């Protein structure tokens, strides 16, 4: 079945075609009809399978058909997400797919000045994609009116619930005076989170699970190399040098390690960018833009960027550090092999990380293939020369981290009293 045969507006079909979307993915095929009917949906599907378009397409079509002009008379749909990057990403999808329609979408998140956001809201929008913090700030200030909302979407919903946003979600639901449709989308879900999820949708909700037995997409081949912690930088350097033209995302555990990996690569003349929570939103947006455009091919990231970010043509994901939460493994490796494309993920596992690997494999219900490295090959990799890390390098790295942290705090907008 092709999108051409769907009962959606011709403008949306043209937008899909221009983006290269001809046929729906499994999650889109199963979710779109139910959403069009107004049913609640609880959908679990592997990352990279097109979940955002699965709810964006039918919602844009419904809103477009219901409007008589481009003028907006109130927010029709709220999409709640856990991170700023994901809000921006989903906003891009809605804006791309709603071109030449009557639908206006806007992504709202913290870390940037709120006055331009308030002006945009006052101009009128139909779809609000938002993180809870900034959204509740503006609701309390009277800048957001949710009285006309008829659809609530919870994207990466397991993280929303796991982070303790359940009270925020319930608070939003209490403010929705009209009967509304709830859509719950995620790539992973635990038994505990599933109970909370069921409490947020009608008992008649359509439940969709795509490949629940294997949370990692079949388009991604993934393996693990056993590497001692102090030797990881040598293996990363070798991997990048062996794949010079590849676009690579490297995941690390902490903000400090992200900056240190960037410095380690600099010492062997490899340019990379870092993204993490201590960078202000302007810097984070700029870094993602440079990586997406191909200006930089190596991105060092903490888990702030593991969820939902759709960066085209990522060839490899490297888990420099194994994630402490096993679910994040799925979200990390899902940055490659998106849609119909193939991808590869490599994890470095040190001796002290063995328990984390065991938990990940239990979550996947299968072992991750071991990539063998002989003793001689191991020695050759770690003995390759690099510019030594001096005391000045360490001092500079710490100063840069402190500078970014202070700048981030300074740029945080102050909350206005309602």
Please count the CA atoms within 13 angstroms of the CA of 55 that sit on its side-chain side: 31
pLDDT in the model for residue 383: 83
CATH at residue 20: 3.40.50.300
Residues 191 and 308 sit within 8 Å (Cβ to Cβ): no
> Do 200 and 224 sit in the same domain of this protein?
no
Residues 164 and 113 sit within 8 Å (Cβ to Cβ): no
Residue 306's pLDDT band (cuts 50, 70, 90)? low
Residues 252 and 319 sit within 8 Å (Cβ to Cβ): no
- Reported as a single tens digit per residue, the pLDDT across 308-321 is 567 878 999 999 99
pTM: 0.73
Q: Which domain holds residue 379?
A: 220-405
Cα R_g (the chain), whole angstroms: 22
pLDDT in the model for residue 359: 95
**Which of 165, 183, 209 is the last residue in one of the domains?**
209
Give me the number of domains the chain comprises.
Answer: 2
Give the SS3 label for residue 348: strand
> Do 268 and 311 sit in the same domain of this protein?
yes
> Do 116 and 263 sit in the same domain of this protein?
no
Angle between helices 232-242 and 375-383 (to 10 degrees): 90
Cα dihedral across residues 265, 258, 292, 209: positive or negative: positive
Give the SS3 label for residue 43: strand
Residue 418 domain-assigned? no
pLDDT in the model for residue 416: 47
For range 273-299, the mean pLDDT: 86
- Reported as a single tens digit per residue, the pLDDT across 113-146 is 999 999 999 999 999 999 988 999 999 999 999 9
Angle among Cα 266, 270, 276 to the nearest 5 degrees reads 70
**Which of 154, 174, 209 is the last residue in one of the domains?**
209
Residue 298 domain-assigned? yes
- Reported as a single tens digit per residue, the pLDDT across 50-98 is 899 999 999 999 999 999 998 998 999 999 998 888 899 899 999 999 9
Residue 100 domain-assigned? yes
pLDDT in the model for residue 413: 55
pLDDT in the model for residue 187: 77
Give the residue with greater pLDDT, 36 vs 276: 36
> Do 189 and 58 sit in the same domain of this protein?
yes
Please count the CA atoms within 13 angstroms of the CA of 332 that sit on its side-chain side: 30
> Do 188 and 333 sit in the same domain of this protein?
no
pLDDT in the model for residue 392: 63
Nearest to 270 by CA among 223, 309, 237: 237
Cα 263 to Cα 41, 252, 311, 396, distances in angstroms: 46, 14, 24, 10
> Average model confidence (pLDDT) for the chain?
87
Q: Is the pLDDT of residue 324 over 70?
A: yes
Q: Is the pLDDT of residue 411 over 80?
A: no
DSSP state of 35: H
Residues 94 and 56 sit within 8 Å (Cβ to Cβ): yes
């Amino acid at each position: 079945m092709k999108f051409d045969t769907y009962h959606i507006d011709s403008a949306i079909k043209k937008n899909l075609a221009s983006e290269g979307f001809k046929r729906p993915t499994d999650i889109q095929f199963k979710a779109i009809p139910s959403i069009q009917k107004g049913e609640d949906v609880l959908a679990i599907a592997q990352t990279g399978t097109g979940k955002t378009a699965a709810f964006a397409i039918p919602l844009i079509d419904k809103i477009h058909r219901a409007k008589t002009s481009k003028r907006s008379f109130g927010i029709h749909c709220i999409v709640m997400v856990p991170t700023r990057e994901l809000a921006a990403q989903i906003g891009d999808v809605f804006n791309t797919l709603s071109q030449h329609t009557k639908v206006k979408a806007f992504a709202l998140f913290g870390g940037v000045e709120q006055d331009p956001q308030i002006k945009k809201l006052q101009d009128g929008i139909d779809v609000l994609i938002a993180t809870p913090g900034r959204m509740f700030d503006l609701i309390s200030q009277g800048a957001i009116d949710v009285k006309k909302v008829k659809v609530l979407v919870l994207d990466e919903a397991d993280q929303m619930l796991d982070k303790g946003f359940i009270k925020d979600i319930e608070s939003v639901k209490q403010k929705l005076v009209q009967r509304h449709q709830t859509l719950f989308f995620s790539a992973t879900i635990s038994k505990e989170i599933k109970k909370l999820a069921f409490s947020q949708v009608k008992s008649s909700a359509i439940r969709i699970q795509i490949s629940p037995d294997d949370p990692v997409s079949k388009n991604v081949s993934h393996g693990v190399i056993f590497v001692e912690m102090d030797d990881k930088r040598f293996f990363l350097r070798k991997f990048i040098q062996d794949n010079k033209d590849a676009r690579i995302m490297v995941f690390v555990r902490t903000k400090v390690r992200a900056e240190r990996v960037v410095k380690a690569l600099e010492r062997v003349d490899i340019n990379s960018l870092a993204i993490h929570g201590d960078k202000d939103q302007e810097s984070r947006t700029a870094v993602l833009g440079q990586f997406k455009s191909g200006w930089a091919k190596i991105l060092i990231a903490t888990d702030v960027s593991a969820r939902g970010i759709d960066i085209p043509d990522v060839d490899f994901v490297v888990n420099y550090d194994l994630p402490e939460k096993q679910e994040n493994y799925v979200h990390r490796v899902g940055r490659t092999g998106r849609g119909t494309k193939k991808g590869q993920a490599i994890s470095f596992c040190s001796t002290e990380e063995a328990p984390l690997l065991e938990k990940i494999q239990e979550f996947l219900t299968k072992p991750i293939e071991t990539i063998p490295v002989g003793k001689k090959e191991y020695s050759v990799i770690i003995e390759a020369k690099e510019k030594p890390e001096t005391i000045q390098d360490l001092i500079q790295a710490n100063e840069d981290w402190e500078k970014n942290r202070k700048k981030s705090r300074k740029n945080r907008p102050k909350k206005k009293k309602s």
